Amino acid sequence: MTMRSTTRPSRPRTTGRITLSGRLFLLVAVGLLALVAMAAMASVASANQARAGARMARVSAAMSQEWNADMMHDGIRADVIAALYATTPELWKVLEVDGVTEHASEFVKHFTAAEAGAPESLRPEFQRVLPHVQQYARTASALVALAGKDRARAEAALPGFLELFGQLEEKLGAISEALLAAVQAEVRGAAAAAESARTMIVLVGLAATALFVLVGLWTRRTIRRSLQRMAAALRRVAGKDLTVRVEAESRDEVGEMAVSLNEAMEQIGSALRAAGESASTLTAASEELAGVSSRLGRSAEDVATEVGVVSTSSAEVSGSASAMSAAAEQMSASIQSVAGQATAAAQVASEAARTAQNTSAEMGRLNEASQEIGQIVKAITSIAEQTNLLALNATIEAARAGEAGKGFAVVATEVKDLAQETARATDDITGRISAIQELTGRTARAIDEITTVIGRINENQAAIATAVEQQASTTAEITQRVSEVTAGASQINTNIAGIAGATTSTSEGAEATQLSAARLAEVAVQVNSLIAEFAC
């Protein structure tokens, strides 16, 4: 496992303050602004064309009215000539009523309407010609009226009327030409406005398209570059390199992903390093457990040896009790024989007392050894619990890392299972040691009872030595005491058998503990090997 990287998770630079959603919004905003600009240009162009069309329509209408006035101008002349050459008064009257009066009124009306629709630049010309129009209409009406009264005078006035007609015709022609020029100017202005609008719309569209493309390319470049760095970092993580760090160059969502990835790699690396330290601690603990189990096995062998000694002593006590029983039966026949047997019984009792005391001391040492083993097992249990907690924390951190932490989650689960198995093994050892301690206490109490019984035997033997004359009365008591000794010896044998079984269980537990310690060492090596595959 490589050394821990000192590179801290990089924070986004201050240059990229626009988020990913902000960039997309900017792209959409550019498109919308382009559409709005083009719509505004189209609206302005449409309004300009509408105004130009309205002006052209007014000028065209004025020109139409002027043409009507010009026709009325010719019609009035025809009416005057027709009235002058009417052959009957009835025909003249019809011409006067239906011709000149109506045509003169229409002439002035059309000319006035043409003036109203004419451009402002032509209205002064209309104002200058209007008196001539009115004079022409009045002259025509007067001439027609004169023709009905005095044809000769009317014919004499006709040349002056025709001269007035010619002058007015020139003025009306000039106005018609001016109106036609105005219409053509409006047409050219409308065409120029339409062309200008089309040009502006095309230019705005091209500028908007260029800006939209530039913003799109900028957005694509920044997003693609950040995502490529993230993909490269994740490929290194997939290759078990946890030292990788992604430099976040922006404060958008991709930059936040880079910061989160850096923090996740830091947490996973810390968890792996902690797991490695725990594995080392587990290795040391397994070695210590193996040593303790070895000492426990040797202590069990020592206990087995002492149990053999106690068993021999118990057999001797049983034999002595049998001899004492036979001597008690023969006491009534021979006092000397009883005294000798009593002395032998006292010696045997003293030896049994010493043996019982030695056995009690050995039981005390066995109890102390079992307590020492219990303390060591507690330490192992504490280490297993800590390892389990570390494995659980590592599992949680791996779950936070998602796909990148799946491999480590499996390792952490195996470590946790092994820690739990160690805890169960230590619990089993604790139970066995408690059983040994309980049997040791019971054996010690039984030996104390044996010592008490042997003391009583000594007292009885002293009484026999000092009062042989009381043998008859005390023979029954001696027999009873011998029976008690026999029962005590049987109890001692039973207790010794229990101690032997406990010693066997202790030996088996020590062997199981050694196997568990060896397995823990193997697991620690496996954990270290798995962690070494990651560079953190």
Please write the tens of the pLDDT for every residue from 82-121.
777 764 555 555 555 456 777 888 888 989 988 887 888 8
Number of Cβ within a 10 Å radius of residue 463: 14
Alpha helices in 118-150 (DSSP H): 123-149
Q: Where is pLDDT greater, at 502 or 204?
A: 204
Number of Cβ within a 10 Å radius of residue 143: 24
pLDDT confidence band for 335 (50 / 70 / 90)? low
Residue 8 and residue 437: Cα distance in Å, rounded? 56
CB 390 within 8 A of CB 278: yes
Listed in order, the ranges of the chain carrying CATH 1.10.287.950 are 264-532
Whether residue 39 has pLDDT greater than 70: yes
Whether residue 238 has pLDDT greater than 70: yes
Q: Average the pLDDT over 347-369 and give the result.
A: 73
In one letter, which amino acid is 54? A
pLDDT confidence band for 6 (50 / 70 / 90)? very low
Q: Where is pLDDT greater, at 468 or 394?
A: 394
CB 86 within 8 A of CB 95: yes
Whether residue 213 has pLDDT greater than 70: yes
CB-count burial class (<10 Å; 0-12, 13-18, 19+) for 15: exposed
When the pLDDT of each residue in the chain is averaged and rounded to a whole number, the result is 74
520-532 exposure pattern, b = at least 16 Cβ within 10 A, e = fewer? bbebbeebbebbe
Long-range CB contacts for residues 176-184, cutoff 8 Å, separation at least 24? 176/63, 176/66, 176/67, 176/70, 178/122, 178/125, 179/59, 179/62, 179/63, 179/66, 179/114, 179/118, 179/122, 180/63, 182/59, 182/63, 182/118, 182/119, 182/121, 182/122, 183/56, 183/59, 183/60, 183/63
Confidence at residue 97, expressed as pLDDT on a 0 to 100 scale:
46
In one letter, which amino acid is 425? A
Whether residue 475 has pLDDT greater than 70: no
Residue 514 and residue 296: Cα distance in Å, rounded? 10
Q: Average the pLDDT over 2-22 and give the result.
A: 50
Whether residue 12 has pLDDT greater than 50: no
Query: Whats the size of the chain, residue-wise?
Result: 536
Q: How many helices (H) and strands (E) does the chain have?
A: 9, 0
The arrangement of secondary structure in 20-225, i.e. its CATH architecture, is Up-down Bundle (1.20)
Whether residue 311 has pLDDT greater than 60: yes
What is the greatest pairwise CA distance in the chain? 219
Confidence at residue 321, expressed as pLDDT on a 0 to 100 scale:
55
Whether residue 269 has pLDDT greater than 80: no
In one letter, which amino acid is 294? S
Listed in order, the ranges of the chain carrying CATH 1.20.1420 are 20-225
Q: Helix, strand, or coil here: 332?
A: coil
Sequence-distant (≥ 6) Cβ neighbours of residue 204 within 8 angstroms: 34, 37, 38, 41
pTM, entire model? 0.35
Please work out, in degrees rounded to the nearest 5, the angle formed at the alpha carbon of residue 530 by the alpha carbons of 382 and 422. 25
Q: Average the pLDDT over 180-192 and give the result.
A: 82
CB 17 within 8 A of CB 251: yes
Strands annotated E in 418-466? none
> What is the percent of the chain with per-residue pLDDT over 70, rounded to a whole number?
71
Whether residue 64 has pLDDT greater than 50: yes
Confidence at residue 412, expressed as pLDDT on a 0 to 100 scale:
73
Confidence at residue 163, expressed as pLDDT on a 0 to 100 scale:
92
pLDDT confidence band for 464 (50 / 70 / 90)? low
Q: Average the pLDDT over 415-444 and give the result.
A: 77
Cα dihedral across residues 270, 276, 278, 280: positive or negative: negative
The candidate with the shortest Cα–Cα distance to 482, out of 331, 307, 294, is 331
Confidence at residue 289, expressed as pLDDT on a 0 to 100 scale:
67
Whether residue 2 has pLDDT greater than 60: no
CATH T-level fold of 264-532: Helix Hairpins (1.10.287)
State pLDDT tens for residues 140-178: 888 887 877 788 887 888 899 989 998 898 988 888 888
Confidence at residue 303, expressed as pLDDT on a 0 to 100 scale:
60
